Amino acid sequence: MRTQHASAERGGERGLHHSRSIVREVFASTSLTQRFILSPASRHNRSGERAAIDQPCPAARRLSAETLSMDDEEVKRRTPPLVAAVTAQGVAAAFLFLATTFWPQGLEAPFLLVFAQGLLAAAVSAAQHAPRWWWLIHALFPMAIYGALQLPIDPVWYLIAFIFTLAIFWRTDVSRVPLFLSNKPTAEALLQLLPAHAAQIIDLGCGDGGLLRHLARARPDCRFVGIEHAPLTWAWAALASRKQPNLSIRRGDFWRESLAPYALVYAFLSPEPMPRLIAHARKTMTDGSLLVSNSFMAPGAEPEAVIDVDDRRQTRLYCYRMLGLGRGKVPA
């Protein structure tokens, strides 16, 4: 693995010192203000926030200024994506219903209606300012339903498939975090970042728990916690990890979790929750602890290091050191 940026090297941080990392670029200043996880500029100045995300991560670059300042309250106020999606299809269906009262011949060409339903729903979705991939989903969804109804499959199988998918992906529509797993080279890179002393480590949304099992086996002196909200994924992780004494897998919502006990917090989420994640980290993590985000930058925050993992998918780990928050020391 290679460390691409490092704002400071600090004694006792075994991971960054003892890894095989190559420090390619050292951030210009090591002044205390700039070493804060969120400098005053990036915390209070919107253009500063934009400048910070205009750097390496294309996914973070797409985040709007509105999303950047999003906190827990704003998340609650947003229209739930499922409601927006049902509204788009509902408006399209109502429009077509009215249209067929004036043009009943349309009912004789059901495929045309289904096609029109998709296009109209996509247009409503665009008017809702939904991301473009939602437009495509709206356009294709009615055709997929129409196609499935033509197949000689017992409807109960659709119900079973729905429940199975729900149990694995749970509320991806709300969390905007699908299930994909960290690979072995990433686990190895993460091992290098663990503190030299015994500590607690958490994986926010631990998936099948594979990453944590790898770490827990390698560091029996540390305690590992995984939080997962999808029922089947959690059950799988808990079952597979039952013989690992220093690893506990809990079912729950990680947004309700205080991150104070953890020396290292790992997250492999998506661009969408990153503004909320960095806000949550600042609120609950302690001084000196490390937030490691796989692939997704935290907008408005300066990573202490960016580590390029030597794997096929070119994984990047963004490391944010919590400094200057005045909340005690790294828990031992």
Ligand X SMILES: C[S@@+](CC[C@H](N)C(=O)[O-])C[C@H]1O[C@@H](n2cnc3c(N)ncnc32)[C@H](O)[C@@H]1O
CA distance 38 to 122: 39
User: What is the distance between the alpha carbons of residues 233 and 188, in angstroms, rounded to a whole number?
Assistant: 23
121 backbone dihedrals φ, ψ, rounded to 5°: -60, -40
How many CB atoms are closer than 10 A to CB 203?
28
CA–CA separation, 87 vs 298, rounded Å?
31
Measured from the CB atom, is 102 or 133 closer to ligand X?
133
CB of 251 to ligand X, least distance (A): 8
Q: How far is the CB of 242 from ligand X (least distance, A)?
A: 18
Give the nearest distance from C-beta 26 to ligand X in angstroms.
29
User: Which one, 88 or 201, has the nearer CB to ligand X?
Assistant: 201
CA atoms within a 13 Å half-sphere pointing along the CA-CB vector of 44: 3
Give the SS3 label for residue 92.
helix
Q: Is-contact 200 262, C-beta < 8 A?
A: yes
In the DSSP assignment, the letter for residue 129 is: T
Per the DSSP assignment, residues forming a β-bridge with 22 are none
Give whichever of 36 and 296 is closer to ligand X, judged by the CB atom: 296
Nearest approach, Cβ of 158 to ligand X (angstroms)?
Answer: 22
Q: Of 224 and 254, which has the nearer Cβ to ligand X? A: 254
Nearest to 172 by CA among 86, 258, 87, 80: 80
Q: Which is nearer to ligand X, 52 or 279 (CB)?
A: 279
Q: At what angle do helices 132-150 and 81-102 cross, to 10 degrees?
A: 60
Please report how close the Cβ of residue 267 comes to ligand X at its closest, in angstroms: 7
- Give whichever of 199 and 230 is closer to ligand X, judged by the CB atom: 230
- The residue number whose beta carbon is nearest to ligand X equals 205
Interface ranges with ligand X (CB under 6 A): 170, 175, 177, 179-182, 203, 205-207, 211, 227-230, 233, 253-255, 268
Shortest CB 181 distance to ligand X, Å:
4
